Amino acid sequence: MKRKLILEDGTVFTGHAIGSTKETTGEVVFNTSMTGYQEILSDPSYCDQIITLTYPLIGNYGTNRDDFETLLPSAGGLIVKESAIHPSNFRNIGTLDDWLKEHDIPGLTGIDTRMLTRLIRDRGTMHGRLAAETADEKAIIESLQSFVPSKDKVAQVSTKNAYHAPGAGRRVVLMDYGAKHGIARNLIKRNCDVFVMPYNATAEEILKLDPDGVMLSNGPGDPEDVPEAVEAVKNLLGKVPVFGICLGHQLLSLAGGATSSKLKFGHRGANHPVKNIRTGKVDITSQNHGYTIDRDSLMGTDLMLTHVNVNDNTVEGVAHEYYPAFSVQYHPEACPGPNDSNELFDQFMSMIDKHKKASTAV
């Protein structure tokens, strides 16, 4: 069956349908990772977005039980040049097409994904619709031009109820703004006693759990759309060590007085170089974000710039001058991607221990 991708600038690509039969509208973004499609598709930060993978053959190792970043994927759609029909891997339990059908995500194959990516790089991220071959292009283009994406994506993907993953070590509250499982996995690996809280938990509710540290997760959408989370983080600063990843980094930065804006086409991939400006060390990082913290807006706040993107000099990390709080725009949990910056979780553990010692010493 044929299917079209219609973009708000009027460009139309015609290819073949895979996955769900439903139609979908969303922001069309590209990711340059060569592998990790199951993790990407199940990363809640992609909620409602239509993801183009630039690597031309996707699905060759199939799908499996283990590589989920959330059990209920919320990605809007997938576009690939070619989707493998005969995957081979010892963990494989089904093709990418089967997986997309099971999770009700529509896909498109057989289009020139290189051309689509260049278009997005030149014109910036655009809205698009995955539609039937017979769809009325003119009407769809008009509706795309005035399309306003939902502002409550975080509420959509965050857990509705608090829950607990018991551990014998440090007590960490994980704020779930659409958290990837990789973050909890890293805390659990370090023996943490993890309390997962919904995105709108107040600082008072969080502090009532008497945490040793608070982890702010990744999540979808514009950080300015979750003012309640910014407010909670503001009220946590100085009271408990805080570590933020991606959306969590943006929320910590907004809480510290910085501002955010939208990047032309975002950073999505598994080989983004990031420089630690204190040590000069460059890590190759996994990234997935469309917004960034404005570098100039850090001036006059108590936030220090700690990491920059080597490609475009954007802000990749900040730390609070006086309080135990730091954050990064990239993904130390990887999934998919390199593990270069995994030690940031250990830094968080040390920060927690130092803070504990300081607060118990009289």
| 355 assigned to active site | no
CB of 153 to ligand GLN, least distance (A): 8
Q: Say whether residue 221 binds ligand GLN (CB under 6 A).
A: yes
Binding flags for ligand GLN, 222-261, as an x/- string (CB under 6 A): ------------------------xx--------------
Contacts with ligand GLN by CB under 6 A: the residue count is 11
| 333 assigned to active site | yes
219 annotated as belonging to a binding site for a ligand: yes
Which stretch in 6-14, 110-118, 206-214, 216-224 sits in contact with ligand GLN by CB under 6 A?
Answer: 216-224
Q: Which of 39, 246, 316, 335 is catalytic?
A: 246
221 annotated as belonging to a binding site for a ligand: yes
Q: What does the alpha-carbon distance between residue 33 and residue 112 come to, in Å, rounded to a whole number?
A: 17
Do residues 226 and 187 make contact, with C-beta atoms less than 8 angstroms apart? no
Q: What does the alpha-carbon distance between residue 216 and residue 245 come to, in Å, rounded to a whole number?
A: 6
SS (H, E, C) 79-112: EECEECCCCCCCCCCECHHHHHHHCCCEEEECCC
Q: What does the alpha-carbon distance between residue 328 and residue 338 come to, in Å, rounded to a whole number?
A: 15
Q: Say whether residue 55 binds ligand GLN (CB under 6 A).
A: no
Q: Say whether residue 290 binds ligand GLN (CB under 6 A).
A: yes
Q: Say whether residue 36 binds ligand GLN (CB under 6 A).
A: no
The only residue of 33, 45, 60, 83 in contact with ligand GLN, by rule CB under 6 A: 45
Q: Which is nearer to ligand GLN, 18 or 298 (CB)?
A: 298
H helices of the chain, in order, are 37-41, 96-102, 113-123, 137-145, 153-157, 181-189, 203-208, 227-236, 247-255, 344-360
Q: Say whether residue 218 binds ligand GLN (CB under 6 A).
A: yes
* Nearest alpha carbon to residue 129 among 141, 117, 115: 141
CB of 222 to ligand GLN, least distance (A): 7
Q: Which is nearer to ligand GLN, 83 or 250 (CB)?
A: 250
Q: Say whether residue 219 binds ligand GLN (CB under 6 A).
A: yes
Q: Which is nearer to ligand GLN, 83 or 158 (CB)?
A: 158
250 annotated as belonging to a binding site for a ligand: yes
Tokens of residue 276, six digits:
């630690």
Q: Which of 272, 316, 333, 335 is catalytic?
A: 333
290 annotated as belonging to a binding site for a ligand: yes
Which stretch in 9-17, 32-40, 269-277, 287-295 sits in contact with ligand GLN by CB under 6 A?
Answer: 287-295
Residue 39, number of CB atoms within 10 A of its CB? 22
CB of 221 to ligand GLN, least distance (A): 5
CB of 330 to ligand GLN, least distance (A): 9
Q: Minimal CB distance to ligand GLN: which residue?
A: 246
Q: 336 preceded by cis ω (within 30°)?
A: yes
Q: Nearest 5 degrees, angle CA 95-CA 100-CA 104?
A: 150
Burial 301-316 (b: 16+ CB within 10 A, else e): bebebbbbbeeeebbb
Q: What does the alpha-carbon distance between residue 240 and residue 244 come to, in Å, rounded to a whole number?
A: 13
Residue whose entry in the numeric block shows the structure tokens 């509420």:
155
Q: What does the alpha-carbon distance between residue 310 and residue 184 come to, in Å, rounded to a whole number?
A: 28
Q: Which is nearer to ligand GLN, 149 or 167 (CB)?
A: 149
74 annotated as belonging to a binding site for a ligand: no
Do residues 291 and 207 make contact, with C-beta atoms less than 8 angstroms apart? no
Q: Which is nearer to ligand GLN, 27 or 212 (CB)?
A: 27
Tokens of residue 169, six digits:
């070590």
298 annotated as belonging to a binding site for a ligand: no
Q: Say whether residue 60 binds ligand GLN (CB under 6 A).
A: no
Residues at the site binding ligand GLN, with contacts judged by CB under 6 A: 45, 218-221, 246-247, 288-291
Binding residues for L-glutamine: 45, 219, 221, 247, 250, 288, 290-291
Catalytic residue ranges:
246, 331, 333
